[in-house]
């Protein structure tokens, strides 16, 4: 069964929305919503491998309040395989700061990216809608200065 152009566009829009929601939810500490972006057995592979919504939610709960991040996403390309599967790539420019200044709502005077890379995604249609089956991060550039402090210390 082939999909119409409208169906393909709708699937692409849903998958792109997942990618944007990922960035917004993690950066604004909406961790329950973040974990729900993944299927029940979804995999998040960023500096380690987490599988399932519970494991992802538990890991996010360990993120330090002193860690401020902004995930800037560009160059999203979604390929639709069929009515229930899609894959994609999204570029990432990551800004992050660890320290007491992150507790203050004002801006932090740190402007260089912590890293630049891309996510490789597998999407699946579930009973709850489109979800990540797998999201894997690969860095092309990484400024280790921004990763030197533990991000899980409250």
Residue 103 is predicted with a pLDDT of 87
Residue ranges making up the domain that contains 19: 5-147
Residue 17 is predicted with a pLDDT of 98
Let me know the angle formed at the C-alpha of 129 by 42 and 33, rounded to the nearest 5 degrees. 60
Q: Identify whether 153 is part of a domain.
A: no
* Nearest alpha carbon to residue 133 among 21, 52, 57, 76: 52
The two counts, helices (H) then strands (E), for the chain are: 3, 6
SS3 label, residue 6: helix
Q: Identify whether 99 is part of a domain.
A: yes
Q: Identify whether 93 is part of a domain.
A: yes
Alpha-carbon gap, residue 20 to 7, rounded angstroms: 20
Residue 60 and residue 35 in contact, taking contact as beta carbons nearer than 8 Å: yes
Residue 69 and residue 28 in contact, taking contact as beta carbons nearer than 8 Å: no
What pTM was estimated for this model as a whole?
A: 0.91
Q: Identify whether 25 is part of a domain.
A: yes
The domain that holds 58 is classified in CATH as 3.10.450.50
Q: Identify whether 21 is part of a domain.
A: yes
What is the chain's pLDDT, residue by residue, as a tens digit (154 residues)?
699 999 999 999 999 999 999 999 999 999 999 999 999 999 999 989 999 999 999 999 999 999 999 999 999 999 999 999 999 999 999 999 888 888 888 888 867 899 999 999 999 999 999 999 999 999 999 999 888 765 555 5
Q: Identify whether 116 is part of a domain.
A: yes
Q: Identify whether 152 is part of a domain.
A: no
Count structural domains, the chain: 1
Residues 6+ apart with CB under 8 A from 126: 39, 40
Residue 75 is predicted with a pLDDT of 98
Q: To the nearest 10°, the Cα dihedral for 70, 75, 80, 85?
A: -20
Q: Identify whether 154 is part of a domain.
A: no
Residue 102 is predicted with a pLDDT of 80
């Amino acid at each position: 069964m082939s999909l119409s152009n409208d169906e393909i566009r709708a699937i692409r829009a849903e998958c792109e929305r997942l990618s944007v929601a990922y960035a917004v939810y993690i950066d604004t500490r909406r961790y329950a919503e973040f974990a729900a972006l993944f299927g029940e057995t979804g995999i998040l592979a960023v500096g380690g491998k987490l599988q399932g919504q519970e494991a992802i939610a538990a890991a996010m709960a360990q993120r330090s309040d002193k860690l401020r991040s902004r995930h800037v996403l560009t160059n999203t390309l979604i390929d639709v395989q069929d009515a229930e599967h899609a894959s994609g790539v999204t570029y990432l420019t990551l800004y992050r700061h660890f320290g007491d200044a992150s507790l203050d709502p004002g801006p932090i005077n740190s402007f260089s990216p912590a890293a630049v890379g891309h996510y490789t995604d597998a999407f699946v249609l579930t009973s709850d809608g489109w979800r990540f089956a797998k999201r894997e991060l690969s860095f092309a550039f990484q400024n280790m200065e921004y990763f030197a402090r533990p991000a899980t210390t409250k």
